[in-house]
Structure 1
Amino acid sequence: MAGKWLGAVLLAASVIATPAVAGEAECGAGVYRLADGGIVDVAAANEGALRWRNIDGSSGELKRDGDRWTSTAGWTGRPDGLQVRFDCAANHMAFGEQDAQRIALETHETSFTSHGTQLVGRLLLPPGDGPVPIVVLLHGAEFTSARDTNPLQRMLPAAGVGAFVYDKRGTGASGDKYTQVFSTLADDAVAALAEARRMAGTRGARFGFQGPSQGGWIAPLAATRTNVDFLIVSFGLAVSVADEDREAIAFQMGLKGYGPDVIAKAQEIGAATTRIFASGMRDGIEELDAVRGRYRNEPWYKDVYGNFTHIILGMTAEEIRTKGQAYRFGTPLHYDPMPTLRAVNVPQLWAIGGMDIDAPAGETSRRIKALIADGQPITLAVFPKAEHGMTEFETKDDGSRVSTRYTPGYFRLLIDYAKGDRLAAAYGDADITRPAATE
């Protein structure tokens, strides 16, 4: 599974999400400490299944098999030999050959207001009463409740880092309508941070934002509007939404073996769809019809996808004017994130995937490295095998991808950075560029 621009902008990067806990799966859901010290989160998945995530990045789906649960690797559906049993009364899990005990997190529900809208959130803290760092978890572009779907809300506290998770406006239990207006969402993040500070009291040692996917544009913007200690961007971008689609077309077509001439023609199509989206589905439809007419019989035409181009590429002009209205979320397609990134003066971590076809890493990596060279306190980690959502994958014969696991080192990197610890020499196979002061 992999999110598309429907992953980075219009929908969620679904590889990090699981549905709300329900039914028989409910008692087993939670976060556990393994006998070897590892951490495994268990959350409800589709149709009564469970999904486990180990802090080392391994993951699988669990389905009931009598008095036990049988696992399949990643999202592949292939058995991986793991069997799990839950003793809910004892808060215990037998995870293969290892015993695991549920970690009792301190959990507080809340609601708060931003721009007159009530938003619903949750603070989760590690056991104990000592001060801890706290990460305010922002969103991608999902329509689902982050309180139901974001596993970091448990994985971070299990490792000693508090987490504040909230349903963004128009999702879950929060009010108002769904929007992708970055400035409004940044103000909501600022309000979430203030609520997290209030609730944490003396337990809050340092506070930061984590912005995944679309949140990679919003978190830095929020960081310029409040006092924050650090910032984490996961599989986000330092280019505009429009440039994301253009780069995605080039990267995707290149992976399929097409050369520069074909890529340039495919990007003509993307330029036409960008104008349509940017105009609220009003302008540029005739231009798209014309460019489709030139290229629709070319053998490469079927492979044009991008991040949002594919949404309307198969629509008629009338369908764009009617059905296309469903995608009017106020997305600022030409928002340039660079002035904001230059204005952020707190340490930043950027963790991105080298094989991300939804939010390609190339230009973003170059720009972040330039900021590092200019002296900004940014750490860049490019995980070469990871795609959107920081998962590794297999490629099927038809070119589609199936996620197999989270890339090794990613979760541990987030934890160490949030804690303010000196980073390790290596995190999986990530190529790490560190601030000049720490080289």
Structure 2
Amino acid sequence: MPSLLAATLAAVIATAPSLDAVPQTRLDPALRCRLGAYALPDGQYVTITGHGGHPRDLQFTLSSGVFGRLREEADGAYVGGPLRVVFGPCDGGGLRLTRSGRTVEGARLPLAETQTDFAGDGVTLHGKLVSPTGGRAKALAVWIDGSNNDPSTDDVVWQYELARRGVAVFVYDKRGTGASGGSLSADFHVRARDTAAAVAEARRLAPGVRRIGVIGASQGGWVAPLTATLAPLDFVIPAFAMAEGPIAQDRRIVENQLRAAGFGEDVLAEARSLTALTERIVRSNFQDGLEELDAFRATHAGRPWLAAIQPRSYTGILLTMSGAEARAGGPTAAQGLSFDYEPRPVIERIEARQLWLLGGADRQAPSEATQEILRQTQVRRSDLDVVVYPKADHGLIERVHTPDGTVSAHPGGLFDLVATWIEDRRLPAKGRFVVMPASD
């Protein structure tokens, strides 16, 4: 992930400045030689990527899944959390990593990288193929980022984590970000056409690969199945995504926030009238229902439950705006988001095998209903697998306790599981619907 929380559907339509990277920002070119996976003693690794589109900040990911931001110090070292990292000369491909008073040397793995520009849906997109050591792979995954504005070719950790496990990865900066042209778009169909073009480019660069598929993160999890309707794919992996559409996502976020705040069914019933109103607003491209929202807000002013709705959803954001502000800024800020998209029929009919990776504690893409939809879908198709990480929030991120304190981490074994499923077509654990043991 490029940040502690992937950019959300709510952030897409916010009129305030986003917490995500400013579109078209990229890592300082002088730092790109630092990116990659480094072998450490005792069979451990550290992966270095960009962070949030920042030109000088980096991010580390350890073999345990623990990750964090690295900031540059005056002496050129990078420090973050428990780590201090000193990079050697670019042509040497090494680093020194200090943790808890112990310093070890790391050697950058010779993963093969190929930069490319290719034609998307009317725009020129920038991509990168990362192949295992030796440059050959049997399988390749095309990464589809979420609604964040980060430059994927710099920031996505999966490109190195899977490549060092034998799976090639093609990652591209979505339109309007990084080195890609065009303007930001949250139209899932436009994004699927761009991704189908990325699949074709990946095939061109890696003609010997026998199996190719896509991994869609967050909003990319809506785009991934759509891509399978446009390009022949062996597999589709939606990660921390939903088998429901954006309208249902908004409603479930609001209801979960109210339940977490201790409100009961009487309040939830009132909230459903609010989300029905905001649904009408977004379906009309922010033209209808805005006066009614102003009236609703005035009528319910001071109600504690209204204040409990946080701006993680478009309903939460609309509550912070006047009707006039929403009408003026909403259509542009929404970037053409496919509010009316319903993913279930697509999930049920595509031919590619599927692996769904879900967080049981996901606050941005609540997974309870998605889990049920996928269980029902499994009755009709035998090539759909589900893995749930019970304590993982959005981004498949857990808060874990370590000797260095409480830190953010991806679930242990996540990348091993995905690589094994891609290459061997099986899950390490028995069953097609697997709830992984919670991390300590």
Q: Residues 44 and 131 (structure 1 numbering): CA distance in 2 closer, same or farther, change over 3 Å?
A: closer
- Would you say 1:368 and 2:368 are equivalent positions? no
Q: Tell which deviates more after alignment, 339-348 or 323-332.
A: 323-332
Answering whether residue 323 of structure 2 is matched by residue 325 of structure 1, we say: no
Aligned letter for 2:210?
A
Q: Which residue of 1 aligns with 2:79?
A: 70
> Post-superposition shift, 1:3?
4.2
In 1, Cα distance between the equivalents of 2:104 and 2:13? 40
Return the alpha-carbon distance in structure 2 between the equivalents of residues 283 and 251 of structure 1. 26
Deviation at 1:363, TM superposition (A): 0.5
Contact kept, 8 Å, 1:22 with 1:44, in 2: the verdict is: no
Cα distance change, pair 310–322 in 1 and its aligned pair in 2 (3 A):
same
Equivalent in the alignment of 1:354: 360
Q: Does 1:29 align with 2:30?
A: no
Pairing of 1:10-409 with structure 2 (within 5 A): 20-22=26-28, 28-45=34-51, 46=54, 48-64=56-72, 66=75, 68-72=77-81, 80=82, 82-88=83-89, 89-96=91-98, 97-202=103-208, 204-305=209-310, 306-393=312-399, 404-409=408-413
| TM-score, length basis structure 2 | 0.86
What is the DSSP-based 3-state SS (H/G/I as helix, E as strand, rest coil) of the residue aligned with 1:357? coil
Change (3 A) 1:199 1:24: closer
- In 1, Cα distance between the equivalents of 2:327 and 2:283? 13
The answer for the alignment partner of 1:398 in structure 2 is none
Please tell me the residue identity of whatever aligns with 1:282. Answer: Q
**How big is the shift at 1:25?**
5.2
Q: Which moved more, 1:62-71 or 1:107-116?
A: 62-71
Query: What's the CA shift for 1:8?
Result: 7.8
- 1:298-332 per-position Cα deviation (integer Å, ceiling 9, x unaligned): 11211113521122211112111223233232222
Looking at structure 2, the residues matched to 314 and 10 of structure 1 have their Cα atoms a distance apart, in angstroms, of 12
CA RMSD of aligned residues (A): 2.9
C-alpha spacing 1:425/1:183, structure 2 compared with 1 (3 Å): same
Which one-letter code corresponds to 2:256 in the other structure? F
Deviations 1:124-172 (A, max 9, x none): 1112144331100112112332223222222221221111111222222
Distance 1:160 1:193 in 2: 18
Check conservation: 2:26, 2:55, Cα contact below 8 A: no
Q: Is the 8 A contact 2:95 2:107 kept in 1?
A: yes
Listed as ranges, the gaps of 5+ residues in structure 2 are 401-405
Change (3 A) 1:93 1:212: same
Q: Structure 2 counterpart of 1:272, which letter?
A: L
SS in 2 for 1:90: coil
1:2 maps to 2:5: yes
Match of 1:412, as an amino acid?
D
Which letter maps to 1:289?
Answer: D
Structure 1 residue ranges without an equivalent (≥5): 73-79, 395-401, 434-439
**Residue 36 of structure 1: SS of its match in structure 2?**
helix
Question: Residue deviations 1:174-222, cap 9 Å, x none?
Answer: 23322222122112111111110111022x1310100111111111111
Pairs aligned (count): 414
Determine what percentage of the aligned residue pairs are the same residue: 32
CA distance, structure 1, for counterparts of residue 55 and residue 198 of structure 2: 32
**Paired residues of 2:143 and 2:171 also in contact (CA < 8 A):** yes
| Cα distance in 2 between the residues matched to 1:117 and 1:47 | 24
Whether the 8 Å contact between 2:130 and 2:163 is mirrored in structure 1 is yes
1:364 Cα deviation (Å)?
0.5
The answer (yes or no) to whether the contact 2:20–2:149 under 8 Å persists in 1 is no
Whole-angstrom CA distance in 2 between matches of 1:419 and 1:151: 19
Rounded to whole Å, the distance in 1 between the matches of 2:7 and 2:148 is: 12
Asked whether the equivalents of residues 8 and 358 of structure 1 are also in contact (C-alpha less than 8 Å), the reply is no
One-letter code aligned to 2:120: S
> One-letter code of the match for 2:85?
V
Q: Secondary structure at the match of 1:115?
A: coil
Indicate if the aligned counterparts of 2:13 and 2:334 stay in contact, CA closer than 8 A: no
Whole-angstrom distance in 1 between the partners of 2:394 and 2:71? 26
SS of residue matched to 2:263: coil
